[in-house]
Structure 1
Amino acid sequence: MGEAAGFRLGVIGALFLSVASSVSIVVCNKALMSSLGFPFATTLTSWHLVVTFCTLHVAQRLNFFETKSVDMKTVMLFGILNGISIGLLNLSLGFNSVGFYQMTKLAIIPFTVALETIFLHKQFSQKIKMSLFLLLIGVGIASITDLQLNALGTILSGLAIVTTCVGQILTNTIQKKLNVSSTQLLYQSAPFQAAILFVSGPLVDRCLTKQNVFAYRYSPIVLGFIVMSCLIAVAVNFSTFLVIGKTSPVTYQVLGHLKTCLVLAFGYTLLHDPFTSRNILGILVAILGMGLYSYFCVQENKKKQLVDLSSQVKEKEDAFPLLAVKSMNTGLQDKDSQDVKKSDKDSAV
């Protein structure tokens, strides 16, 4: 019971850290890009990963966690895939409307469910599917504004969906298969993610913004916001690996859509962004969908734990049949002795 309670607290802490850090970095980056005119998102992401790796390296040197030898080929390919995924998502946003980009993010959940069902043979109940569908409808109502299709943008969105889903599934699979923690996997893969984005970032940003990141004039306030963004990104990257490792890729995507709703609400209340009754309705529907998803997941986990417990008891009985027989015989002998004592007592009377 103590281990189960500790695990639940760990999951709740990871979810809270993920939500808090993600909303914070969105606000920081919005100020950096919209107010201060720094539009180089992909290059900024590469700096995030460099700072994340350096922070983890210092933590490892201070013995906050231990490194673990893993298959470097697997980790390298995993890191490169995640780096490509980030670049494709940024390109998708650059070549598509905001509405179509939101549709791309929404498509990640059903595609992840399909991949896990086909390749990992994971089963999702009808209740889970219904709650996910309700969540997608709510986020769609709240966030989708316009849909403009174009061939290049559609191709980039399709590639972004595939690479993102595969990367998140691999995050969960590698942690369990190689028995590594989220910190260890992030520490091992961050250099490869940073390298692929560090090389491709300036090219992607130049393609999207028609500006050169190296020719930009960095004022002290811009540098301050970049440093702040990089520090928050450490928490974002760590919590991402932590959440996927402790839960599942689908749960992480559900959490991501909750963040979308929170960012919309935060933008309306504090930044006074345009907001309509449709946004409010969408957020409420999305929160209802996430609440149902969480409730059904908890119920199914309880059922699974009961099934696992009963199977363990059965396995013990099958493994030690002689003990079961002996216990049964002992019980019969005790019953016989009680009957004999009762008979003797009746005779004496």
Structure 2
Amino acid sequence: MNKITITTFYLVLNIIFSIVIVLLNKWLYVHIGFPNVTLSMIHFIVTFVGLVICEKMDVFCIKDVAIKDMLLIAMTFCGFVVLTNLSLAHNTVGTYQVAKMLTTPCVIIMQIIFYKKHFSILVKLTLIPITLGVIINFYYDLHFNVLGTIYATLGVLVTSLYQVWVNRKQREFQMDPMQLLYYQAPLSAAMLFVIVPFLEPIGNTLTHEWSFLDAMMVLLSSIVAFFVNLTSYWIIGYMSPLTYNMVGHSKFCLLLLGGSIIFHESLAINQLIGITLTLVGIILYAHVKMKDNDSTVSESTLEEGKPLHKR
């Protein structure tokens, strides 16, 4: 297969898996009432098993690193997965997805405050429509609830912290995302195994009258979660960050449609305005960020006296 065919194949798989995992998890929460933290723990275990299989197939190689250096990032990994799943359980699919868009401005603010990183004024300006759009969506959400908003807010904060730390750990240890995930998944599963008895009714889960469909949906959700990670890493290797961002926007729109059709989640006209504003802000951010990156690369290449090549 040529590069275009491979790229298209990974692209389609990633879009399908990313949409299916959200809808599957929402189905488990709505129809089975499956405990959130337990589901996250199962996802981590299946992800680790999948990574072991990938390593045996030479998809990536394990890089030795001290477990103590991975504990903090594994804790935030637990936090962001559990909190975003709780947000999904207590919010509509649309509100859950819109709230996730706040991760972009939150990451930028964290990098500015804690790491003194510089961003252009245009990048900062794109955060206005993103933030405003999310606020409008939450304010006019027909299914608004305080608990769901709290989970969504905490999920954004912990997810942003996780993304910042992952970026730093990758540079510090010269590890790719799959190598990091190989350590994160089992450590996070072990952490959740310890706290599940204190947070969720294990007895209810064990004594639940499990139908074949229920069990298959839990297993399918775990396998799809693994493939979301795997296809994301593959795509990043084949596509530009801007194109990958655009894929994210298409998933955003399709998930809103899926939530509306499958779970009968109606949207107020003001919510649609907020969602549109958020989407416009994200697209502008991706465009401005790519222009900034291209300018930086061009300046660096000229300073080194190397000829520029058109992509």
Bin for the TM-score computed over the shorter chain: 0.7 to 0.9
Select which of 123, 131, 151 maps to 2:126.
131
Point out the more displaced range, 78-87 or 299-308: 78-87
- Following the alignment from structure 2 to structure 1, what is the Cα–Cα distance between the partners of residues 206 and 160? 32
Select which of 55, 78, 86 maps to 1:83.
78
Select which of 39, 43, 49 maps to 2:44.
49
Whether the 8 Å CA contact 1:25–1:233 is kept in 2: the answer is yes
Aligned to 1:30: 26
Q: How big is the shift at 1:157?
A: 7.0
Whether the 8 Å CA contact 2:142–2:266 is kept in 1: the answer is no
- Following the alignment from structure 1 to structure 2, what is the Cα–Cα distance between the partners of residues 140 and 252? 25
User: How many residues align structurally?
Assistant: 302
Deviations 1:5-26 (CA, angstroms, capped at 9, x unpaired): xxxx999998876554332111
**TM-score scaled by length of structure 1:** 0.69
Deviations 1:169-201 (CA, angstroms, capped at 9, x unpaired): 111111122111111111121101111122323
Select which of 161, 170, 182 maps to 1:175.
170
Q: Name the SS of the counterpart of 1:212 in structure 2.
A: helix
Aligned to 1:302: 294
- Structure 1 residues 77 and 253: CA distance shift in structure 2, 3 A: farther
Aligned to 1:115: 110
Select which of 217, 226, 229 maps to 2:218.
226
Whether 1:201 aligns to 2:196 is: yes
- Following the alignment from structure 1 to structure 2, what is the Cα–Cα distance between the partners of residues 190 and 148? 33
Select which of 64, 69, 77 maps to 1:74.
69
- Structure 1 residues 215 and 240: CA distance shift in structure 2, 3 A: farther
Whether the 8 Å CA contact 2:126–2:282 is kept in 1: the answer is yes
Q: How big is the shift at 1:140?
A: 3.5
Point out the more displaced range, 166-175 or 134-143: 134-143
Select which of 287, 290, 293 maps to 2:285.
293
Whether the 8 Å CA contact 1:108–1:253 is kept in 2: the answer is no
- Structure 1 residues 88 and 138: CA distance shift in structure 2, 3 A: closer
Deviations 1:88-128 (CA, angstroms, capped at 9, x unpaired): 55567789999998897565443321221133332122211
Aligned to 2:309: none
Q: How big is the shift at 1:281?
A: 2.3
Q: How big is the shift at 1:141?
A: 3.1
- Structure 1 residues 267 and 100: CA distance shift in structure 2, 3 A: closer
Q: Name the SS of the counterpart of 2:305 in structure 1.
A: helix
Deviations 1:203-253 (CA, angstroms, capped at 9, x unpaired): 3334xxx97322222110001111110111102344667789999xxx999
Q: RMSD in angstroms over aligned alpha carbons? A: 4.3
Deviations 1:254-299 (CA, angstroms, capped at 9, x unpaired): 9878755542222224554313322332332222212211211121
Whether the 8 Å CA contact 1:128–1:297 is kept in 2: the answer is yes
Q: How big is the shift at 1:161?
A: 4.8
Whether the 8 Å CA contact 2:87–2:152 is kept in 1: the answer is yes
Q: Using CA pairs below 8 Å that are at least 6 residues apart, which structure has the higher relative contact order?
A: 2
Whether the 8 Å CA contact 1:103–1:144 is kept in 2: the answer is no
- Following the alignment from structure 1 to structure 2, what is the Cα–Cα distance between the partners of residues 13 and 30? 26
- Structure 1 residues 125 and 182: CA distance shift in structure 2, 3 A: same
- Following the alignment from structure 2 to structure 1, what is the Cα–Cα distance between the partners of residues 174 and 163? 16
Which amino acid is 2:49 matched to? C
Whether the 8 Å CA contact 2:73–2:162 is kept in 1: the answer is yes
- Structure 1 residues 257 and 130: CA distance shift in structure 2, 3 A: farther
Which amino acid is 1:138 matched to? G
Whether the 8 Å CA contact 2:140–2:268 is kept in 1: the answer is no
Deviations 1:144-166 (CA, angstroms, capped at 9, x unpaired): 54699999999877765543322
Aligned to 1:320: none
Whether the 8 Å CA contact 2:129–2:278 is kept in 1: the answer is yes
Point out the more displaced range, 143-152 or 259-268: 143-152
